[in-house]
Amino acid sequence: MDSSADSGAVIEVAGLGKVYGSLVAVDDLSFSVRRGDVYGFLGQNGAGKSTTIRMLLTLIRPTSGSIRMFGMDISRHRSEILARVGAVIEKPDLYGYLTGRENLRILARLSGCRDRKAIDRVLDTVGLAARADDRVRTYSQGMRQRLGIACALVHDPELVILDEPTNGLDPQGIADIRNLILRLSREGGKTFLVSSHLLSEMELIANRMVIIDKGRKVVEGECRTLLDPERQVVHLETMDDVQTRVRLARSRWAAHIEDDPQGRIRLSLDRADVPQLVRELSDMDVQILALRPFNRLEDYFLSLTQAG
């Protein structure tokens, strides 16, 4: 019995690092993906997402840290682990002069899949049954992406890793991939790790997510918590922030104060409590210059993407 059944973790990454000369691509990264998750792996282009995924798939070797999948160390149980994983890294490599079905047959043989009916099943799953015998060079980008996912699914993996699966797709193509992931998760019981730089897409499909920047974790958690509409994070600017901090620390609002990387006064509270906070600050003779709402996840993510 694999130990991940007890912890519920399909992927456990701890202190992962990858260095290329003077370039630190991934820096002390830790996160976990639970069984049944659609786990969003977010960050701007160049943040270290693809490097991390390549380490998960043993395509490159980590400089430091550890990776456990299904309760096993990837360095010791590579073949056993990868037999339970399907993946598409960036754009799928397909043979344009072959048909969709022929591409799948090749991948099925390489994956050790001997079930001929599996090819028909995955073609139907990704909505390509009607075009299965057309050459791939006649496929749209969205169809190629769906065929790539079919290749990842042909051996019926427990975990599916997708690296920027909606890159270069039109709105309909993006919706098709989104709906496919949701259907495979809900009806097929698959666990997904999906990397993206599109927060709006992850909000629609992920139940948990992590954001990384320059190879380091910025924030991780349940989407319903990070995106909780009932909670409000605010930044407070006053005539005397030092004195205001002292007064807040002595008040019932002390438990709501959060650390802020830029040294601002930040509080997390129920949205309904914001008017009461303003009244009590006035009673404390605090002169408020600004009280700005702060979407923790959106602001983090915008700060990353704009930095690029």
228-307: CATH topology: Alpha-Beta Plaits (3.30.70)
pLDDT of residue 6: 43
Q: pLDDT averaged over the chain?
A: 89
Fold of 4-225: Rossmann fold (3.40.50)
Q: How confident is the model at residue 300 (pLDDT cuts 50, 70, 90)?
A: low
Residue 241: pLDDT over 90: yes
Write the CB contacts of 185 (distance below 8 Å, at least 6 apart in sequence): 36, 38, 191, 192
The answer to whether residue 207 scores a pLDDT higher than 50 is yes
Q: Is 252 or 2 the better-scoring residue by pLDDT?
A: 252
- Determine the pLDDT at residue 7: 54
17 with 24: CB under 8 angstroms? yes
pLDDT band at 1 (very low <50, low <70, confident <90, very high): very low
Q: How large is the angle between the packed helices 100-110 and 141-153, nearest 10 degrees?
A: 30
Please answer whether residues 226 and 268 qualify as being in contact, where contact means their C-beta atoms are separated by less than 8 angstroms: no
- Structure token pair of residue 285: 């003779």
- Residue 2 has a pLDDT of 44
Angstrom CA distances, 306 to 27, 200, 300, stand at 21, 15, 10
pLDDT tens, 110-160? 877 777 788 999 999 999 999 999 999 999 999 999 999 999 999 999 999
Name the residue ranges covered by the structural domains of the chain: 4-225, 228-307
